[in-house]
Copies of this chain bind each other. A is one copy, B any other.
Amino acid sequence: MARNYQVVSTDDHIIEPEGMFDGRLPSKFADRTPKLVHDDEGASWVYEGKSQQMSGLSTAAGQKIEEFSPKSKTFDQMRPGCYDPRERIKDMDADGVDAQVCFPTLPHIAGANFIELEDKEYALAVIRAYNDWLAEEWCGADPDRLIGAAILPLFDMSAAASEARRVAGIGIKAVSLPSHPHTIAGLKNYPDPSWAPLYDALSETGLPAEVHIASGKVDTSVLAKSAGSPAEVFVCLAPSSNMEFVATMLFSGVLRKWPKLKFISAESGIGWLPYFLERADYTHRKHQFWTGSRIDVTPSDLFHQSVYANFISDRAGVELRGMIGVDNIMLGTDYPHTDTSWPDTQRIIKEQLGDLPDEDRAKICALNAVRVFGLDHKPA
């Protein structure tokens, strides 16, 4: 149903509710259905002999900054908007957000927890079950407003290509791919030819790939970034760590061979992009001969063709949006993580984008996402 989109966020997160897999696995795997287990310490998902707790930092929407803590929560300590799509929409209404692109949490942002499962037949079944739930139950609550990023069985690129085609057929509008694929057991980095079948499928379906910071099996322990560093170092650096992914895509030749691919660098911020694109073009100009460059256009041309990035609060990037490309910038509200702009998104938009020409602000707040995700937009 056509809608007048004014604010579209392309970086938000689902906390999966109890029972989401019930009845969704083939009968041979029914007794291996992942279960949510509650105790006084919080809630854990239990499957395949593993027990996964959720960081309290991932369910922080509505908390004061003084209350943030990595300690796991019980579901009744979270806002229901974390796990209930109808409550999510109420929270979006309170924040003036028309639509959100939502990432998985339980399988990890881009599915690494499921991709690495030993029994690949089971892994494929649980990934398909997840995507079915995402389409039917989460996005199903309001398909014009909740856009789920599906996970793919990347351990087998033919299966991943098939799953991408399948989810496109059930109304899914995005897939989630890892920022650091080579940190997932058995996977190679994006330039590897093994990815070709998936690049074909994404080009054919037009599904954009959301690539969230620190996804894959990156060590996201806030204390482990480098020995002895305070926790803030990881928090501060995590967004711009997507620089490595973006550089890899620009220089690999993939975007030259598959020009229809669309990548959204999610939660990466945008303020480093003016510097980065200038540096990438300088690198190409000066180093293309000895490196045996795989591209015959500038990296910034490929960025403008295929890559988008979103931000929460980033005045440096907004100032230099002309050096990024105003058609390549989106918003993210990061609900319900600690960095979320909820419930202050309108105030932040005013502070960050208040002095922009209306056309630029409309593109950044909604119209770029409308175009890339193929939303049915009705101008006011």
Which residues of A come within 8 Å of B, CB atoms?
57, 65-70, 180, 182, 188-192, 222, 225-233, 235-237, 239-240, 243-244, 247-248, 251-253, 269-272, 274-276, 278-280, 282-294, 299, 313-317, 319-320, 323, 338-339
Q: Which residues of B contact A180 (CB under 8 A)?
A: 226
Q: How many Å lie between the Cα of A232 and that of B279 in the bound state? A: 11
Q: Which residues of B contact A70 (CB under 8 A)?
A: 290
For the complex formed, measure the closest distance between the CB of A55 and the CB atoms of chain B, giving whole angstroms: 11
**Could you tell me if B237 and A247 are in contact, using CB atoms closer than 8 angstroms?**
yes
Q: Which residues of B contact A228 (CB under 8 A)?
A: 182, 188-192
Q: Which residues of B contact A190 (CB under 8 A)?
A: 228
**Could you tell me if A272 and B282 are in contact, using CB atoms closer than 8 angstroms?**
no
**Could you tell me if A279 and B240 are in contact, using CB atoms closer than 8 angstroms?**
yes
**Could you tell me if A231 and B191 are in contact, using CB atoms closer than 8 angstroms?**
no
20 contacts between A and B (CB under 8 A): A66-B289, A191-B228, A222-B291, A230-B253, A230-B293, A231-B287, A231-B291, A232-B251, A232-B280, A232-B283, A232-B284, A232-B287, A236-B280, A240-B243, A271-B274, A271-B279, A272-B276, A278-B315, A279-B314, A316-B323
Given A225-B244, A244-B237, A278-B316, do A230 and B191 touch, yes or no (CB 8 Å)? Answer: yes
Given A269-B279, A272-B272, A274-B316, do A237 and B243 touch, yes or no (CB 8 Å)? Answer: yes
Closest 8 CB pairs of A and B: A271-B275, A274-B316, A189-B228, A231-B291, A68-B290, A236-B283, A232-B251, A275-B316
**Could you tell me if A339 and B65 are in contact, using CB atoms closer than 8 angstroms?**
no
Q: How many Å lie between the Cα of A182 and that of B339 in the bound state? A: 29
**Could you tell me if B189 and A314 are in contact, using CB atoms closer than 8 angstroms?**
no
**Could you tell me if A236 and B290 are in contact, using CB atoms closer than 8 angstroms?**
no
Given A251-B233, A252-B229, A320-B319, do A240 and B286 touch, yes or no (CB 8 Å)? Answer: no
